[in-house]
Amino acid sequence: MAAQHVRSLTCILVRLTVLNNSKGKEMGCHPGFGQLSHSGTTYGNFFLSRTDNPGQFQHGVIVAVDSRATAGSYIASQTVKKVIEINPYLLGTMAGGAADCSFWERLLARQCRVYELRNKERISVAAASKLLANMVYQYKGMGLSMGTMVCGWDKRGPGLYYVDSEGNRVGGDLFAVGSGSMYAYGVVDSGLRPELSVEEACELGRRAIYQATYRDAYSGGVVNLYRVHSQGWERVSQDDVLQLHQQYKAEAQD
């Protein structure tokens, strides 16, 4: 039913595009809508699962996110859950328009469940991310704002895909998404090594998000850490950024 709701929207849209030509300008006079994008940092890290690289090991996917949502320069919330639990072995992250991310990922969860019922097996990360990419591609150019990472574990091992509302869908080992992503990349790229243990990897993710919240005004709140392994995902930790600040400062002094 929800899918139909949106499908019918596609038709109305074509007509409205002409009428609402200056929609952006009108919207500009009014307070902005909740935005995660230029406000959130999400970061997914995928470790070394390729079987053609037998020297390395499989930890899974570490996903670290902040929890701030802004509407313009107003902080709308410091307790946003930017990791969406699609099903027990798939996670999606949120950056961009808050409603866009949560709506489309909820729809993705529904589609994944339908796939399971039809095919009697779990959906792969590649297929799930492709479903999402194809759903939003139909609205390309209409103003959706969504940058998400689909992370999971399937029969090919850990999977990580970056999908956005522009139509990009790209698989990889490491992504950082959002306004603070550059800061997170700096920390992760310099700290990433093949022989990291699970705890070290988690700490690296946590530090990357903390550093991003330190320098990016649109990131903050708490750092939520998840890990996806062969049995599914688990919530590793939730740390307030202010407390991490005290902790890292104390560590730096000794």
Q: What angle do CA 43, 49, 51 make, to 5 degrees?
A: 160
Q: Which amino acid, 27? A: M
List all residues 6 or more positions away from 214 whose beta carbon is below 8 Å from its beta carbon: 183, 241, 245
Q: Does 217 bind another protein (CB under 8 A)?
A: no
Q: Does 140 bind another protein (CB under 8 A)?
A: no
Q: Does 171 bind another protein (CB under 8 A)?
A: no
Q: Report the relative pairing of strands 174-178 and 41-47 from DSSP bridges.
A: antiparallel
* 94 close to 104: Cβ distance less than 8 angstroms: no
Q: Which residue in the set 103, 137, 185, 248 belongs to the binding site for another protein (CB under 8 A)?
A: 103
- Least distance CB 229 / another protein (angstroms): 27
* Closer to another protein by Cβ: residue 166 or 203: 166
* Binding residues for another protein, total number by CB under 8 A: 33
* Closer to another protein by Cβ: residue 48 or 84: 84
CB neighbours (10 Å) of residue 115?
A: 17
Q: Which residue in the set 93, 102, 165, 224 belongs to the binding site for another protein (CB under 8 A)?
A: 102
Tell me the per-residue interface mask from 77 to 96 with another protein, x by CB under 8 A, - otherwise.
x-xxx---------------
* 223 close to 210: Cβ distance less than 8 angstroms: yes
Q: Does 38 bind another protein (CB under 8 A)?
A: no
For 232: left if phi > 0, alpha if psi spans -120 to 50, otherwise beta; the answer is left
* Closer to another protein by Cβ: residue 126 or 142: 142
Give the whole-angstrom CA distance, residue 221 versus residue 116.
36
Q: Does 20 bind another protein (CB under 8 A)?
A: yes
Q: Does 22 bind another protein (CB under 8 A)?
A: yes
Identify which of 91, 234, 86 has the alpha carbon closest to the alpha carbon of residue 152: 91
Give the whole-angstrom CA distance, residue 67 versus residue 94.
10
List all residues 6 or more positions away from 104 whose beta carbon is below 8 Å from its beta carbon: 132, 135, 136, 146
Q: Does 113 bind another protein (CB under 8 A)?
A: no
Q: Does 138 bind another protein (CB under 8 A)?
A: no
Partnered with residue 69 across adjacent β-strands are 77
- Least distance CB 136 / another protein (angstroms): 12
DSSP SS3 for 241? helix
Of 72-80, 112-120, 128-136, 182-190, the window that binds another protein (rule: CB under 8 A) is: 72-80
Gyration radius of the chain over CA positions? 19
* Closer to another protein by Cβ: residue 65 or 125: 65
Q: Which residue in the set 2, 114, 170, 182 belongs to the binding site for another protein (CB under 8 A)?
A: 2
- Residues engaged in binding another protein (CB under 8 A): 2, 5-6, 9, 12-13, 16, 20, 22-23, 26, 29-30, 33-34, 69, 71, 74, 76-77, 79-81, 97-103, 142-144
